[in-house]
Chain A
């Protein structure tokens, strides 16, 4: 009833190929964006911005980037943390070496640097696949860790190896307030997210999916594996690199190589798997799940414990957080192996028929 498409006639190719062909989807997406842009800034506290919204929005973009590679093109990657780092350090170097560039321009340009590095590390994917490719991308991760620590030029010879982001300004206005930071991150994520959505449903995305589903068959029908795989690495690394630059400039402000370690790669991989492989919406849901759940558990457990008269120590809370978080990941993967995005599409199917399922 709520989700009936009956009566929505598509009279042109344009309407048929629209990014959201169903009116309800269009409405939901527009309403969601309106809430994110117009309502949230009036409701959110500084804590919500800095600890919840900004990291979620930025990691959503990184998860979309990884999903392009893993979910759409089927190339397993464990190097996404390093590509985030490449973006962050590229933006840092652009900002200090070309001081006339606006930091926001540096963030966007850093994506191209990350894309170039991504292509370089994507070359082995032409020969190896599956678990072997995961090992090869792991090399990218270790190379990144090494380069950020050891090549002094990358960190501008700072004695400690920790670097700072320049202040975010535009046309003389200071944009470091939490609201401004959130809106900048949200704008970049939505614009690039929609771009990714359009790429994956166009001819490039279809090539990726053909390669993912069966690379030999794809090659026989005329998909060039070289172009398809490397373009997936390039687009994915671009998105992850921009997310990394935002993570450094908009969220951390000052960072060390440990911020882009192998843990970050695994975190992004969990987001993509839990959210749903091959789904842009799933990337966002996965990022929300992975970022918010630990924070929520960490804060909700002590008051819940107090309800039953149990004073939980900080250490116990932290242990419980890890246990419940792990248990929930297993639970979700058992109940819905295709990720949170699949839950949504099941709900959509049901809503179409509701209340008369037969």
Chain B
């Protein structure tokens, strides 16, 4: 009897839970934007500020303008913990929400991006992977649904080598030198290797890849190797706790921090603050934008932070990753606005948003109007080029704040373009995709 009672109670509780889950409001006439975030786990220190920036910009648009062109934005987060299978579950959960389904996904994880790249074409939902994801997905002819806006890891690798050459006084000085890459042993960390190998042949430097097993909190042996091999420069391709561990270990083995250059995912406050004094002098690429507050932060303060609607602390809103979250949401919502100009002011489907991203054209004037002046440069996405722009700068941590120390570099397409073409063609052959003809696209 007792068991029967338990079963009945259990079933009733289950049914109640399901009913509640199903009844979550689905209002008409709203644009749904999903947020795949990680606020817990090993990568949370970096995931949280980005997620806050993404959410705050959307909340600001809703509070100030009532959404995009009067279409209110419905935003929902789903916790992935940076795990691919949970990310896929979140994607499946959120892709059909709202009247027109998810506008776009930005998973902030190279692993989840690889998995969603297989699913997005079938569901007709674009992926905005700003500064991460597959480097070859910049080829819009093969990767119709992927948009690695603002830069790929191959662009980053090219800019990093350019900066090192500049510090040394020219590309001819690279010859015979040794450049190490300390990387997160995952698709994310491995992406730049192909580009760096090509450049090592072209410029004659020795390339030394040093993998760090995920999550990367233990790096003693890697830095011992660096102490033995004495590379002339160390590139750092880490994420989450791995970054601060690398900077700390570099300090421990006394490798000069100003001979270290991180990718733009290894160049934020959570990466250097834990290293304390040891972090001073460390350099990193910028995904164009610096730390600090700009025009947009006034709007965010006024409509979101001061109203207590944000999870971020007011002091933290000028951080690198928070700013990057703002840019991610701005590029997404501006793409929706571009799509609305063609299809009308109503909630857009994923297919329409994809058209919008592919025709995104942000002029300097428009960037200023949006409050992002000084953060990003104009960009124009086309059918053939899903990256939009290949610009990056370098900033340096002085122990207290990030200082911009270089002008803009442009990724060297004489190196990158043939590589993109090769790898994208291989992917197309493997997946039996016929590349689009961009001259026929409207």
Give A302 Cβ to nearest chain B Cβ, in Å. Answer: 8
- Report the bound CA distance from A298 to B134 in whole Å: 29
Cβ-defined contact, A259 with B118, below 8 A = no
- Which stretch in A156-164, A192-200, A238-246, A282-290 binds the other chain? A156-164
Cβ-defined contact, B186 with A317, below 8 A = no
Q: Say whether, besides A159-B194, A314-B79, A258 and B186 are in contact (CB < 8 Å).
A: yes
A24 interfacial contact with B, CB 8 Å: no
Checking B3, B84, B187 against A160 with a beta-carbon cut-off of 8 angstroms, the contacting residue is: B187
Q: From A45, which residue of chain B is reached at the shortest CB distance?
A: B96
Dominant secondary structure of chain A at its interface with chain B: helix
CB neighbours of A256 from chain B (8 A)? 84, 111, 114, 186-187
Q: Say whether, besides A51-B93, A303-B21, A160 and B134 are in contact (CB < 8 Å).
A: yes
B211 interfacial contact with A, CB 8 Å: yes
Q: From B195, which residue of chain A is reached at the shortest CB distance?
A: A159
- Report the bound CA distance from A165 to B114 in whole Å: 11
B311 interfacial contact with A, CB 8 Å: yes
Cβ-defined contact, A259 with B85, below 8 A = yes
Q: Say whether, besides A160-B191, A313-B39, A303 and B88 are in contact (CB < 8 Å).
A: no
B129 interfacial contact with A, CB 8 Å: no
Contact mask for chain B residues 266-309; partner A; CB cutoff 8 A; 1 contact, 0 none: 00000000000000000000000000000000000000000000
- Report the bound CA distance from A298 to B87 in whole Å: 13
Cβ-defined contact, B114 with A300, below 8 A = no
Contact mask for chain B residues 63-80; partner A; CB cutoff 8 A; 1 contact, 0 none: 000000000000001110
Give B208 Cβ to nearest chain A Cβ, in Å. Answer: 16
Cβ-defined contact, B430 with A166, below 8 A = yes
CB neighbours of A299 from chain B (8 A)? 17, 21, 93
B108 interfacial contact with A, CB 8 Å: no
Give A320 Cβ to nearest chain B Cβ, in Å. Answer: 11
Q: Say whether, besides A300-B20, A314-B39, A315-B79, A254 and B118 are in contact (CB < 8 Å).
A: yes
Contact mask for chain A residues 300-315; partner B; CB cutoff 8 A; 1 contact, 0 none: 1011100100000111
Cβ-defined contact, B114 with A176, below 8 A = no
B119 interfacial contact with A, CB 8 Å: yes
Q: From A350, which residue of chain B is reached at the shortest CB distance?
A: B3
Contact mask for chain A residues 154-195; partner B; CB cutoff 8 A; 1 contact, 0 none: 000001111011110000000010000000000000000000
Contact mask for chain B residues 408-424; partner A; CB cutoff 8 A; 1 contact, 0 none: 00000000000000010
- Report the bound CA distance from A166 to B431 in whole Å: 6
CB neighbours of A317 from chain B (8 A)? 79
Give A98 Cβ to nearest chain B Cβ, in Å. Answer: 14
Looking at A302, A314, A319, which has the most chain B CB atoms within 10 Å of its CB? Answer: A314
A46 interfacial contact with B, CB 8 Å: yes
CB neighbours of A255 from chain B (8 A)? 84, 114-115
Q: Say whether, besides A296-B17, A317-B79, A346 and B85 are in contact (CB < 8 Å).
A: no
CB neighbours of B39 from chain A (8 A)? 313-315, 318
Q: Say whether, besides A51-B92, A162-B187, A303-B20, A318 and B81 are in contact (CB < 8 Å).
A: yes
A135 interfacial contact with B, CB 8 Å: no
Contact mask for chain B residues 120-159; partner A; CB cutoff 8 A; 1 contact, 0 none: 0010000000000011000000000000000000000000
Cβ-defined contact, A258 with B214, below 8 A = yes
Cβ-defined contact, A159 with B430, below 8 A = no
Cβ-defined contact, A160 with B431, below 8 A = no
CB neighbours of A314 from chain B (8 A)? 37, 39, 51, 77-79
Which of B23-81 touch A at CB < 8 Å? 23-24, 37, 39-40, 44, 48, 51, 77-79, 81
Q: From A50, which residue of chain B is reached at the shortest CB distance?
A: B92
Cβ-defined contact, A303 with B79, below 8 A = no
CB neighbours of B14 from chain A (8 A)? 296
A153 interfacial contact with B, CB 8 Å: no
Checking A46, A96, A295, A319 against B40 with a beta-carbon cut-off of 8 angstroms, the contacting residue is: A319
A32 interfacial contact with B, CB 8 Å: no
Give A5 Cβ to nearest chain B Cβ, in Å. Answer: 20
Cβ-defined contact, B40 with A47, below 8 A = no
- Report the bound CA distance from A165 to B119 in whole Å: 12
Cβ-defined contact, B93 with A47, below 8 A = yes
Give A338 Cβ to nearest chain B Cβ, in Å. Answer: 15
CB neighbours of B423 from chain A (8 A)? 159
- Report the bound CA distance from A299 to B22 in whole Å: 9
Give A332 Cβ to nearest chain B Cβ, in Å. Answer: 12
Checking A161, A302, A346 against B190 with a beta-carbon cut-off of 8 angstroms, the contacting residue is: A161
A202 interfacial contact with B, CB 8 Å: no
Cβ-defined contact, A160 with B85, below 8 A = no
CB neighbours of A307 from chain B (8 A)? 20
Q: Say whether, besides A164-B118, A252-B84, A252-B85, A300 and B79 are in contact (CB < 8 Å).
A: no
B185 interfacial contact with A, CB 8 Å: yes
A253 interfacial contact with B, CB 8 Å: yes
- Report the bound CA distance from A204 to B262 in whole Å: 57
Looking at B24, B88, B194, which has the most chain A CB atoms within 10 Å of its CB? Answer: B88
Cβ-defined contact, B432 with A51, below 8 A = no
B110 interfacial contact with A, CB 8 Å: yes
Cβ-defined contact, B311 with A313, below 8 A = yes
B330 interfacial contact with A, CB 8 Å: no
Q: From B136, which residue of chain A is reached at the shortest CB distance?
A: A159
Which of B209-226 touch A at CB < 8 Å? 211, 214
CB neighbours of A81 from chain B (8 A)? none
- Report the bound CA distance from A70 to B81 in whole Å: 30
B398 interfacial contact with A, CB 8 Å: no
Contact mask for chain B residues 86-117; partner A; CB cutoff 8 A; 1 contact, 0 none: 00110011001000000000000011001101
Closest CB pairs A-B (n = 10): A315-B39, A253-B118, A160-B187, A303-B20, A159-B194, A300-B17, A162-B187, A51-B92, A50-B92, A314-B77
Q: A304-B20, A314-B39 are in contact. List 16 more A-B contacts (CB 8 A).
A: A51-B92, A51-B93, A159-B135, A161-B190, A162-B187, A164-B430, A166-B431, A251-B88, A252-B84, A254-B114, A256-B111, A299-B21, A299-B93, A313-B39, A315-B79, A318-B79
- 17 A-B contact pairs sorted by A residue (CB < 8 Å): A46-B92, A46-B96, A160-B114, A160-B188, A164-B431, A165-B118, A166-B430, A176-B122, A251-B88, A255-B84, A256-B84, A256-B114, A259-B84, A303-B24, A314-B51, A318-B40, A343-B3
Residues of chain B at the chain A interface (Cβ within 8 Å): 3, 14, 17-18, 20-21, 23-24, 37, 39-40, 44, 48, 51, 77-79, 81, 84-85, 88-89, 92-93, 96, 110-111, 114-115, 117-119, 122, 134-135, 185-188, 190-191, 193-194, 211, 214, 311, 423, 427, 430-432
